[in-house]
Amino acid sequence: MASKTSIQAVKGTREFYPEEMALRNYLYAKAGAAGQAFGYQEWDAPFLETIDLYAAKSGEELVKEQSFVFNDRGGDPITLRPELTPSLARMIAARQGQLAFPLRWWSFGPFWRYERPQKGRSREFFQWNIDLLGVSCPEADGELIAIAATFLKSVGLTPEMATIFVNNRRLMDAQFEAIRISPEKRLEVSGLVDRRSKMAPDAWESLALEKGISGGQLAGLKQVLGNYDLWRECEELVRLFKALAALGVSEYVKFDPNIMRGLLYYTGTVFEAFDLSGSVRRAILGGGRYDNLLGDVGGDPLSGVGFAMGDVVIGIILQEKGLLPAFVPSPAPVLVTVFDESLWMNALGLASELRAGGLRVLSYPEPAKLSKQFKFADRMGIQVVTVVGPDEAANGHVTVKNLSNGTQETVERAETFKTIVKILESAAER
RNA sequence: GCGGGUGUAGCUCAAUGGCAGAGCGCUACACUGUGGAUGUAGUUGUUGUGGGUUCGAGCCCCAUCACCCGCCCCA
């Protein structure tokens, strides 16, 4: 479509009109609440970093292909952060001796990745990151999964709608070894496992054979990937599921040997949440346990567990399921109308009196026909409208109308505040 | 980087190569001191952009841009 302006928004960015902003703030609030319920502290890192920070640790593609890099005016290369973990590692290493471990930190902010925008993926997105650092037991993994489940529940997603699938890298390594897949081949096999759910079974099997997996190994692999009781052979997972039961979130969590996760740094528990009932096939959130967080930034070994959730996928899912609260643009519950030019200052004064009492009050910015002002109030989701016309002004009165039921009363000006509060309270009760 | 699809009114979408339309919205009025309902009237276009074919192009062809869907990767 021809746009009115010739300047378009940058590809892959989203514009946040008040409705979208309300959704973003809603996700921020729910993510924050889930972490805070478990005693996590909010933190953040710079949005601009040097490319060197990522060169060491992150996946190759993420740095070389998917980062926004540019030179600043001094000629130094700057990267818009594509992920948070390297910044976390640097900040921890810098104060490793002073921080009180275990550390529980959460963050919610913007990230940039230069990739093709599509459903659930944009180039500029917001991501919730949450980590527990300095302990390495499976019960700690359980805490993070419980936080994820708490969040899913708090936004109205039931276990039927959203499930957290869990696996363990060490368990899978042992299984791969048992079917004689060499250590050098395991990365490739992990990728193969990742793709299995996206492919037709036949196509996947021929791809596996192409990649040099023997027929016997393929049979063994299929057996492993189909064994949903495999977790019983892994002490870490047995303990994890015991902890999840104690934390009361078992219904949200399932073992699945097909969950691998591409990132190299995961060493133990890995997990991903999916909505199996909707149209989005992407993970809502994903995370796991990593060792040696600080290895590349020069700190002492530190183990941690954490996960990340982007705002795009969860936003689509909540929208599709009608789980978003009514994000009506209601900037204030009260509108003070301006009857005509001679009563304009009267209206400004009334609005000011009501604000002094603590009400959020919008006053119509200029005199206009009352029907226009009422229509505006209706469209803005305003609950109460006041009118001071010549009659009210002459008697020191104010007419207060309740837009939700259409009733109105005329009261002494001094009683206006109380009358409005009563209407708002009775509306809140329902 | 690769493959597929779509661009028509503010929005959602119609229109055999032959006068560019509907619904919703918006504005006005009914209702000169009152929104949401209803009725009446009115309003809305460089058919993404640039070329080509044709007597004639929204429709066919080429290019280009934007967006969408998938692959890769991943939140």
CA distance A172 to A257: 8
* Residues of chain A (176-235) having a beta carbon less than 7 angstroms from strand B: 191, 194-195, 198
HSE-CB at A390 with a 13 A cutoff on CA atoms is 3
Q: Measured on CA atoms in the order A284, A290, A296, A300, is the torsion positive or negative? A: positive
- Global pTM reads 0.90
Check: CB of residue A373 under 8 Å from CB of residue A339. no
Alpha-carbon distances, residue A265 vs A185, A261, A305, A418 (angstroms): 17, 10, 11, 60
| Structure token digits, residue A313 | 């996928």
Q: What's the whole-number mean pLDDT along residues A292-308?
A: 82
Amino acid A263: pLDDT: 67
Which residue is listed with tokens 């047995």?
A238
* Residues of chain A (60-119) having a beta carbon less than 7 angstroms from strand B: 61-62, 66, 113, 115-119
User: Which of A363, A380, A390, A347 shows the shortest CA–CA distance to A403?
Assistant: A380
Helix pair angle (A215-225, A186-196), 10° resolution: 60
Q: Is the CB of A399 under 7 A from strand B?
A: yes
* Residues of chain A (48-67) having a beta carbon less than 7 angstroms from strand B: 59, 61-62, 66
Q: What's the whole-number mean pLDDT along residues A19-38?
A: 93
- What is the rounded average pLDDT for all residues in chain A? 89
Q: Which residue has the higher pLDDT, A19 or A100?
A: A100
Helix (H), strand (E) at residue A35: helix A18-36
Task: Give the SS3 label for residue A118.
Answer: strand
pLDDT in tens, A238-286: 999 999 999 999 999 999 999 987 667 888 999 999 998 888 888 999 9
User: Which of A382, A332, A317 shows the shortest CA–CA distance to A23?
Assistant: A317
**Nearest-nucleotide field for A375 (CA, C1'):** B35
Check: CB of residue A337 under 8 Å from CB of residue A386. yes
| Structure token digits, residue A332 | 């204030």
Listed in sequence order, the residues at least 6 apart from A65 whose beta carbon sits closer than 8 Å to its beta carbon are A114, A115
Amino acid A56: pLDDT: 60
**Nearest-nucleotide field for A406 (CA, C1'):** B35
Q: Which of A44-58, A113-127, A203-217, A389-403 has the highest mean pLDDT?
A: A389-403
CA distance A255 to A7: 49
Amino acid A67: pLDDT: 86
Residue A1 pLDDT greater than 50, yes or no? no
Q: What's the whole-number mean pLDDT along residues A25-40?
A: 96
Q: What's the whole-number mean pLDDT along residues A192-198?
A: 84
A417-420's contacts with Cβ under 8 Å and 24+ in sequence apart are A417/A353, A417/A354, A417/A357, A417/A359, A420/A334, A420/A354, A420/A359, A420/A384, A420/A386
| Structure token digits, residue A32 | 């924050």
Residue A3 pLDDT greater than 50, yes or no? no
Nucleotides of B under 7 A from a protein CB: 1-2, 7-9, 11, 26-28, 31, 33-36, 46, 48-49, 66-75
| Structure token digits, residue A237 | 């997972």
ipTM above 0.85, yes or no: no
Amino acid A4: pLDDT: 45
